[in-house]
Chains A and B, each alone.
Chain A
């Protein structure tokens, strides 16, 4: 394929997903639409605002009896709980009651006592089920679902023969398949300020989280620290690059909260912490 990439887009998960398909065999439009449909399917499964989503079903019933999952969804929850442990609690999918209490009144999750209880989530690897310790446990996949959707969409594109494409969800998380013709990778600027650092992405994912992003309805509009339930009182940006968009998504969120690289940061991923005006000096790290 020569000329401009084929661009497709869909609104999902509270943002806009866009695909730019540059090369591949077969029907690129059909491949792109299949990828968009996959994103929409996952939106339907993991939206905490939709009463008929799988996530809402889990939040309603998993405390009464385990909910059966497919392998991919089971692995999503497994990764999420693993990131919580490795990030020392800076990423936590049990934030839903606290977020509902913080003002997301349209959530299908009832505002409970705000208690987080990641320890109250039980995964059974033999049965691919998820159970919750009690009705106070409620899950929110907001920090990982977008990356997961991009991973699944990229897999759909590759299966359909696409060899060069860039996908992003709300511009904060991107996946690159191959590279544009003649280029080393897809160039992604981290931020829109002049001189912003550029990452060349090829067959990898990048996610950027900003501690000052509008993640809650708190007055200061900062991201919530799951360990305290309070807003992160620091500006700064974290970017994570690696083979998995969902892990990059979760880890960029965690690092934006932590403001540092924990010992549990996974092999095969690299991170860059960019300072805000009043933050600690930035650091960048890569792991072989």
Chain B
């Protein structure tokens, strides 16, 4: 039995509770089958923070050669030379597409409101495309991207990472088999930061702070919440909420901004089950996580970690007998890690053990697997469009203060 170390920075919080928690990390060390397909040359459009994170994860995938990078900002393009050895540099995506036919897979990581044209051009040029989530900043653009992807004949994946995350994939079937009656859902994104970014010039600073521009920003609900909403959509079998309602405001960053730094939101499904979402830039407490509460148990997911807490009167299924216990959230739980016996014997079954790679890595591996092996796309652009539209409409509810109806997706 392991217990969380008290001197580690960890998101595990001690709360009252008497439930047994089962960790849902499927394998502590290698959670995926090895890629089998041929090598692929990839290009990246957008070299901001997310673009640099994508480079770091793509570098781990041996089949991938990052052959081209693209950004309209010269300083970012210049610094990219230090991130990837030998990648060709472009200041516009059309030049990349026109001159590098060998770059068959493109990852789009520009600001959200700039995705559409780039994605459409890449698909029209016959390239496979991974588009960061949220995929667009308007309903119209989302639908246009989904339409372009449907007719493209190449792989088109939306960057909603939950669907690729091994812990989340482990948890998804348990909603039906373990939770049984879904009672409620909760998700939060808490991070204390101003969301302001510096720029070398006033123009660069303005461009860097598009998230605070009400003309193009889809706020906390769209930019951040959509990733977590999509987990709920997926866990609910592809059913989407019918209504969004909530409120937002400036709670900490009183610097003249109008985009809310804190929001409280309800997404309500037709059967009355709701997702309560809280997003804030004013506090980092408990970070980012989701809860799926059921009559027989509760699943808690935090991207690199996950647990199932079974109610005391829930029937045993058999599999949990072989899991190893862990203290989590004030209760004794069961660690569910593949090959736990071997890991425990090696002294490697550590408290708070998580996935061996960030979520982004798994989403990119799935994209590469789709491109090189023909595997099904983990999150299609149609699914990505729907998830993004929910985020856009949720933001609209926050901005207007009025409930917004989510139209049925055809």
Q: B-contacting residues of A (Cβ < 8 Å)?
A: 11-12, 14, 26-27, 29-31, 33-34, 37, 44-45, 49-52, 54, 56-57, 60, 65, 67-72, 105-106, 108, 110-111, 127-128, 159-161
Contacts and interface: CB of A to CB of B under 8 A. Distances in A.
Contacts of B5: 106
A108 B304 CA distance: 14
A26 B60 contact: no
A34 B357 contact: no
Dominant secondary structure of chain B at its interface with chain A: loop
A71 B82 contact: yes
A29 B255 CA distance: 11
Contacts of B288: none
5 contacts: A26-B199, A29-B196, A33-B197, A68-B85, A105-B350
B198 interface: yes
A159 B197 CA distance: 12
Given A26-B205, A51-B356, A60-B356, A72 B82 contact: yes
Given A27-B196, A33-B194, A106-B5, A54 B356 contact: no
Interface in B189-222: 193-194, 196-200, 205, 209
B283 interface: no
Interface residues of B, number: 37
Given A30-B196, A52-B357, A72-B82, A105 B59 contact: no
Contacts, number: 86
Interface of B: 5, 8-9, 28-29, 49, 55-56, 59-60, 62, 82-85, 193-194, 196-200, 205, 209, 304, 346-348, 350-351, 353-358, 361
A160 B347 contact: no
Contact of B59 (A33, A50, A68): A68
Contact of A30 (B194, B357, B358, B361): B194
Contacts of A127: 85
A76 to B, nearest CB: 12
A26 B198 contact: yes
A52 B83 contact: no
Contacts of A68: 59-60, 85
Contacts of B49: 37
A222 to B, nearest CB: 19
Contact of B355 (A12, A34, A51, A54): A51
